[in-house]
Structure 1
């Protein structure tokens, strides 16, 4: 009887973060970062803007941003949605070549799933975005999923920032979670962050999640003129 209860509890922990809709529909999100050659940002974005309709004919573009703060400059970050891995393979076989290839120094890619308890949010107006990346301890969502969810929801429920999406990496660094936030401006984001750090309800939720945290980093993202998410 005790063994059955333990197994049921583990199943509930897993289902809250890593199972459910993700396995049922197969939808995945590719995170791509291009490291551009110095002084080539404007040329790169203009070229892509002219051709973006050819690319989005094959799969949905969730958002496209330049990276303002958070590491190396001259980078663009974009998220693409695919129905499944077969869809992604078909898209990449049909991709076109554009002059931008000569402007890229290197690129990085991760395959992620949107966690089952989160849907892509639509910001009310144009603003700035923050991508917070959390490297969690080995063990997966069965170990830290519920605590992480409570930490995210504490910020959301108290209105300190608007959540756009929470993504769990499938291919890339394992035990990594990306949280995409929207704010009206960099200043409103800073003000909300300072207030949340003084809120005991947020502090308590974050303290629990931090027990499973190894590292974290963030980037301030500015949406491009052709980004669906503004």
Structure 2
């Protein structure tokens, strides 16, 4: 039943703390960014500003930011929580019209090669329900 598997070892970036969702249920979004070589010393501060520009006004609940140590290097994963898929769509639309978010993303996108987003629903045995 398994056709492929990809493994990485990641750690929390220094400015992030692993948080729990504010309530059970909801959906998670895993946003994965392939950054250009150079590491956080090159793109860390602008990437942090971009993520926090979404988190502080409440455009999503940031649960953790991770950087790859082994596996595909220069990859960053951001785990977000939303009440539901419609809630996510609504708040992302609002974020894209916020001048602070647009400016922060514009500054960090020069360090980005690609991005992949996934909506995830927790399994019954998941510690993050």
Q: Same fold (TM over 0.5)?
A: yes
Q: Out of 10, 19, 22, which is 1:121 matched to?
A: 19
How far apart are 1:121 and its partner, in Å?
Answer: 1.1
Distance 2:19 2:83 in 1: 14
SS in 1 for 2:6: strand
Correspondence 1:187 to 2:120: no
Pairwise mapping of residues 19-34 of structure 1 onto structure 2 (< 5 A)? none
Distance 2:53 2:126 in 1: 28
How far apart are 1:106 and its partner, in Å?
Answer: 2.8
Residue number in structure 2 paired with 1:68: none
Distance 2:75 2:5 in 1: 19
How far apart are 1:134 and its partner, in Å?
Answer: 0.5
| Structure with greater proportional helix content | 1
Note the aligned Cα RMSD (angstroms): 0.8
What residue ranges of structure 1 are gaps of 5+ in the alignment?
A: 1-36, 38-103
Moved over 6 A (4+): none
Correspondence 1:204 to 2:112: no
Pairwise mapping of residues 5-20 of structure 1 onto structure 2 (< 5 A)? none
Pairwise mapping of residues 142-161 of structure 1 onto structure 2 (< 5 A)? 142-161=41-60
List per-residue Cα deviations over 1:159-184 (Å, max 9, x = no partner): 10000110000111111100000000
List per-residue Cα deviations over 1:179-212 (Å, max 9, x = no partner): 0000000000000000000000100001000011
Greater C-alpha Rg: 1
Correspondence 1:110 to 2:15: no
User: Normalised by the size of structure 2, how large is the TM-score?
Assistant: 0.96
Higher relative contact order (CA 8 A, sep 6+): 2
What residue ranges of structure 2 are gaps of 5+ in the alignment?
A: none
Q: Out of 46, 58, 73, which is 1:174 matched to?
A: 73
